[in-house]
Amino acid sequence: MSMLRTTFRSAYWAIAGLSFGATVYAVFNCTPDEATMGTIQKIFYFHLPLAICTFLSCTVAFVGNIAYLWQRRTKWDDLSAAAANVAVLLCTGVLITGMIWGRCAWGQWWTWSPRLTFSFLLWLLYVVYLMVRTSVTSPQRRAIVSAVYGIVAFLDVPLVYLSASLLPDIHPGHVQLAPAMQLTLAFCFIPVTMLAAGLIAVRFNLNRRERLVSDAQQSEYAAALPFAAVGGAV
Protein backbone atom coordinates (compact mmCIF):
# COMPACT_ATOMS: atom_id res chain seq x y z
CA MET A 1 0.00 0.00 0.00
CA SER A 2 2.67 2.46 1.00
CA MET A 3 4.70 1.50 -2.09
CA LEU A 4 1.71 2.31 -4.28
CA ARG A 5 1.42 5.64 -2.54
CA THR A 6 5.09 6.44 -2.97
CA THR A 7 4.90 5.56 -6.65
CA PHE A 8 1.83 7.70 -7.08
CA ARG A 9 3.49 10.61 -5.32
CA SER A 10 6.67 10.39 -7.37
CA ALA A 11 4.65 10.12 -10.58
CA TYR A 12 2.56 13.14 -9.59
CA TRP A 13 5.54 15.37 -8.92
CA ALA A 14 7.36 14.05 -11.98
CA ILE A 15 4.40 14.96 -14.20
CA ALA A 16 4.15 18.37 -12.54
CA GLY A 17 7.87 19.01 -13.08
CA LEU A 18 7.80 17.80 -16.66
CA SER A 19 4.76 19.87 -17.56
CA PHE A 20 6.42 22.89 -15.93
CA GLY A 21 9.48 22.40 -18.11
CA ALA A 22 7.30 21.96 -21.18
CA THR A 23 5.32 25.14 -20.45
CA VAL A 24 8.48 27.17 -19.93
CA TYR A 25 9.69 25.89 -23.29
CA ALA A 26 6.33 26.67 -24.92
CA VAL A 27 6.19 30.15 -23.40
CA PHE A 28 9.56 31.12 -24.82
CA ASN A 29 9.43 29.30 -28.13
CA CYS A 30 5.83 28.87 -29.27
CA THR A 31 4.24 32.23 -28.45
CA PRO A 32 4.68 35.53 -30.28
CA ASP A 33 6.11 38.52 -28.38
CA GLU A 34 3.47 40.98 -27.29
CA ALA A 35 3.44 44.11 -29.46
CA THR A 36 3.92 46.87 -26.86
CA MET A 37 5.44 45.13 -23.83
CA GLY A 38 7.71 42.59 -25.52
CA THR A 39 9.28 39.73 -23.59
CA ILE A 40 8.11 40.85 -20.16
CA GLN A 41 4.54 39.98 -21.11
CA LYS A 42 5.57 36.31 -20.87
CA ILE A 43 5.33 36.58 -17.06
CA PHE A 44 1.60 36.78 -17.62
CA TYR A 45 1.48 33.03 -18.44
CA PHE A 46 2.33 32.28 -14.82
CA HIS A 47 0.77 35.37 -13.23
CA LEU A 48 -2.82 34.52 -14.20
CA PRO A 49 -2.75 30.78 -13.28
CA LEU A 50 -1.17 31.68 -9.93
CA ALA A 51 -3.97 34.19 -9.27
CA ILE A 52 -6.69 31.68 -10.19
CA CYS A 53 -5.08 28.99 -8.03
CA THR A 54 -4.92 31.45 -5.12
CA PHE A 55 -8.71 31.82 -5.32
CA LEU A 56 -9.11 28.05 -5.55
CA SER A 57 -6.99 27.54 -2.42
CA CYS A 58 -8.97 30.22 -0.57
CA THR A 59 -12.16 28.41 -1.57
CA VAL A 60 -10.78 25.10 -0.29
CA ALA A 61 -9.91 26.80 3.00
CA PHE A 62 -13.42 28.27 3.20
CA VAL A 63 -15.03 24.88 2.55
CA GLY A 64 -12.83 23.41 5.29
CA ASN A 65 -13.88 26.18 7.70
CA ILE A 66 -17.59 25.68 7.07
CA ALA A 67 -17.24 21.90 7.30
CA TYR A 68 -15.34 22.19 10.58
CA LEU A 69 -18.03 24.33 12.21
CA TRP A 70 -20.64 21.90 10.92
CA GLN A 71 -19.04 18.56 11.81
CA ARG A 72 -16.29 19.52 14.29
CA ARG A 73 -13.86 17.03 12.79
CA THR A 74 -10.20 17.98 13.09
CA LYS A 75 -9.39 16.91 9.53
CA TRP A 76 -11.34 19.91 8.21
CA ASP A 77 -9.30 22.23 10.38
CA ASP A 78 -6.11 20.68 9.07
CA LEU A 79 -7.35 21.01 5.51
CA SER A 80 -8.17 24.70 5.81
CA ALA A 81 -4.84 25.39 7.52
CA ALA A 82 -3.05 23.67 4.64
CA ALA A 83 -5.08 25.50 1.99
CA ALA A 84 -4.54 28.87 3.66
CA ASN A 85 -0.81 28.25 3.79
CA VAL A 86 -0.75 27.47 0.09
CA ALA A 87 -3.00 30.45 -0.67
CA VAL A 88 -0.53 32.79 1.03
CA LEU A 89 2.35 31.21 -0.87
CA LEU A 90 0.61 31.49 -4.25
CA CYS A 91 -0.60 35.02 -3.52
CA THR A 92 2.99 35.98 -2.72
CA GLY A 93 3.84 34.59 -6.15
CA VAL A 94 1.08 36.66 -7.73
CA LEU A 95 2.33 39.81 -6.00
CA ILE A 96 5.96 39.23 -6.93
CA THR A 97 5.27 38.40 -10.60
CA GLY A 98 2.84 41.31 -10.76
CA MET A 99 5.37 43.72 -9.26
CA ILE A 100 8.10 42.65 -11.69
CA TRP A 101 5.68 43.05 -14.57
CA GLY A 102 4.46 46.41 -13.30
CA ARG A 103 8.04 47.63 -12.93
CA CYS A 104 8.74 46.80 -16.58
CA ALA A 105 5.39 47.86 -18.04
CA TRP A 106 4.53 50.98 -15.99
CA GLY A 107 7.96 51.85 -14.61
CA GLN A 108 7.00 51.45 -10.95
CA TRP A 109 6.94 48.56 -8.53
CA TRP A 110 3.69 49.44 -6.87
CA THR A 111 0.62 51.59 -7.45
CA TRP A 112 -2.70 51.51 -5.60
CA SER A 113 -4.68 50.32 -8.59
CA PRO A 114 -7.70 48.04 -7.99
CA ARG A 115 -6.18 44.63 -8.82
CA LEU A 116 -2.94 45.30 -6.98
CA THR A 117 -4.80 46.55 -3.93
CA PHE A 118 -7.11 43.56 -4.14
CA SER A 119 -4.37 40.95 -4.29
CA PHE A 120 -2.41 42.67 -1.55
CA LEU A 121 -5.44 42.82 0.77
CA LEU A 122 -6.20 39.16 -0.01
CA TRP A 123 -2.64 38.30 0.96
CA LEU A 124 -3.02 40.30 4.20
CA LEU A 125 -6.30 38.57 5.09
CA TYR A 126 -4.77 35.12 4.79
CA VAL A 127 -1.49 36.03 6.47
CA VAL A 128 -3.57 37.20 9.42
CA TYR A 129 -5.44 33.89 9.28
CA LEU A 130 -2.13 32.08 9.77
CA MET A 131 -1.18 34.49 12.56
CA VAL A 132 -4.49 33.87 14.33
CA ARG A 133 -3.77 30.15 14.21
CA THR A 134 -0.41 30.52 15.88
CA SER A 135 -1.69 32.82 18.62
CA VAL A 136 -4.39 30.53 20.06
CA THR A 137 -2.93 27.75 22.18
CA SER A 138 -5.80 25.33 22.81
CA PRO A 139 -6.29 23.17 19.68
CA GLN A 140 -10.10 23.14 19.87
CA ARG A 141 -10.36 26.85 20.48
CA ARG A 142 -7.86 27.49 17.70
CA ALA A 143 -9.93 25.48 15.26
CA ILE A 144 -13.14 27.35 16.10
CA VAL A 145 -11.56 30.81 16.13
CA SER A 146 -9.70 30.28 12.89
CA ALA A 147 -12.78 28.81 11.22
CA VAL A 148 -14.80 31.90 12.18
CA TYR A 149 -12.05 34.21 11.01
CA GLY A 150 -11.64 32.20 7.81
CA ILE A 151 -15.32 32.53 7.00
CA VAL A 152 -15.30 36.28 7.62
CA ALA A 153 -12.12 36.62 5.54
CA PHE A 154 -13.59 34.71 2.61
CA LEU A 155 -16.83 36.73 2.75
CA ASP A 156 -14.64 39.80 2.76
CA VAL A 157 -12.97 38.89 -0.54
CA PRO A 158 -15.81 40.13 -2.82
CA LEU A 159 -16.14 43.26 -0.68
CA VAL A 160 -12.44 43.98 -1.10
CA TYR A 161 -12.84 43.46 -4.84
CA LEU A 162 -15.84 45.81 -5.07
CA SER A 163 -14.30 48.52 -2.93
CA ALA A 164 -10.96 48.34 -4.76
CA SER A 165 -12.78 48.82 -8.06
CA LEU A 166 -13.53 52.39 -6.93
CA LEU A 167 -9.82 53.24 -7.11
CA PRO A 168 -8.41 54.65 -10.36
CA ASP A 169 -7.23 51.85 -12.66
CA ILE A 170 -4.25 51.29 -14.97
CA HIS A 171 -4.29 47.50 -14.93
CA PRO A 172 -5.13 45.71 -18.23
CA GLY A 173 -8.75 44.63 -18.04
CA HIS A 174 -10.04 42.52 -20.88
CA VAL A 175 -7.17 41.42 -23.11
CA GLN A 176 -7.46 39.84 -26.52
CA LEU A 177 -4.96 36.98 -26.91
CA ALA A 178 -3.61 35.36 -30.05
CA PRO A 179 -4.60 31.65 -30.42
CA ALA A 180 -1.05 30.45 -29.68
CA MET A 181 -1.06 32.58 -26.53
CA GLN A 182 -4.40 31.17 -25.41
CA LEU A 183 -3.23 27.60 -25.91
CA THR A 184 0.01 28.22 -23.98
CA LEU A 185 -1.91 29.95 -21.20
CA ALA A 186 -4.27 26.99 -20.93
CA PHE A 187 -1.25 24.68 -20.80
CA CYS A 188 0.32 26.80 -18.04
CA PHE A 189 -2.62 26.05 -15.77
CA ILE A 190 -1.54 22.39 -15.58
CA PRO A 191 1.74 22.71 -13.64
CA VAL A 192 0.50 25.57 -11.46
CA THR A 193 -2.72 23.79 -10.49
CA MET A 194 -0.79 20.57 -9.89
CA LEU A 195 1.67 22.46 -7.71
CA ALA A 196 -1.15 24.05 -5.68
CA ALA A 197 -3.07 20.80 -5.22
CA GLY A 198 0.08 18.85 -4.45
CA LEU A 199 1.25 21.37 -1.86
CA ILE A 200 -2.16 21.38 -0.18
CA ALA A 201 -2.06 17.56 -0.01
CA VAL A 202 1.50 17.49 1.37
CA ARG A 203 0.74 20.14 3.95
CA PHE A 204 -2.53 18.42 4.89
CA ASN A 205 -0.74 15.11 5.53
CA LEU A 206 1.89 16.91 7.56
CA ASN A 207 -0.80 18.64 9.65
CA ARG A 208 -2.56 15.31 10.23
CA ARG A 209 0.66 13.73 11.47
CA GLU A 210 1.50 16.67 13.70
CA ARG A 211 -1.94 16.39 15.26
CA LEU A 212 -1.52 12.64 15.78
CA VAL A 213 1.78 13.24 17.55
CA SER A 214 0.42 16.01 19.78
CA ASP A 215 -2.69 13.96 20.62
CA ALA A 216 -0.53 10.97 21.49
CA GLN A 217 1.73 13.14 23.65
CA GLN A 218 -1.26 14.56 25.45
CA SER A 219 -2.87 11.20 26.16
CA GLU A 220 0.49 9.87 27.33
CA TYR A 221 0.82 12.83 29.65
CA ALA A 222 -2.74 12.32 30.92
CA ALA A 223 -2.05 8.63 31.51
CA ALA A 224 1.14 9.39 33.40
CA LEU A 225 -0.48 12.09 35.52
CA PRO A 226 -2.11 9.93 38.29
CA PHE A 227 1.19 8.19 39.00
CA ALA A 228 3.02 11.44 39.05
CA ALA A 229 0.47 12.82 41.51
CA VAL A 230 0.82 9.77 43.75
CA GLY A 231 4.59 9.96 43.53
CA GLY A 232 4.45 13.61 44.47
CA ALA A 233 2.28 12.87 47.49
CA VAL A 234 4.59 10.12 48.70
Q: Rounded to whole angstroms, how far apart are CA atoms 164 and 211? A: 39
Nearer Cβ to another protein (11/128): 128
Q: Is 181 in the site for another protein (CB under 8 A)?
A: no
Cα separations in angstroms, 182 against 38, 142, 179: 17, 43, 5
Q: Does 202 bind another protein (CB under 8 A)?
A: no
Q: Which residues contact 207 (CB under 8 A, 6 or more apart)?
A: 78, 81, 82
- Considering only 1, 4, 35, 166, the residue that binds another protein (CB under 8 A) is 166
When binding is defined by CB under 8 A, the residue of 66, 130, 151, 190 that contacts another protein is 151
DSSP-assigned beta bridge partners for residue 38: 34
Select the span of 19-27, 75-83, 153-161, 172-180 touching another protein (CB under 8 A). 153-161
Q: Does 201 bind another protein (CB under 8 A)?
A: no
Is 45:23 a contact under the CB 8 Å cutoff? yes
Q: DSSP state, 38? A: B
CB of 183 to another protein, least distance (A): 37
177 lines the binding site for another protein (CB under 8 A): no
Cα–Cα distances in angstroms (integers) from residue 22 to residues 18, 50, 83, in the given order: 6, 17, 27
Query: Which residues lie near another protein (CB under 8 A)?
Result: 69, 117, 121, 124-125, 128, 131-132, 135-137, 141, 144-145, 147-149, 151-153, 155-156, 159-160, 162-164, 166-167
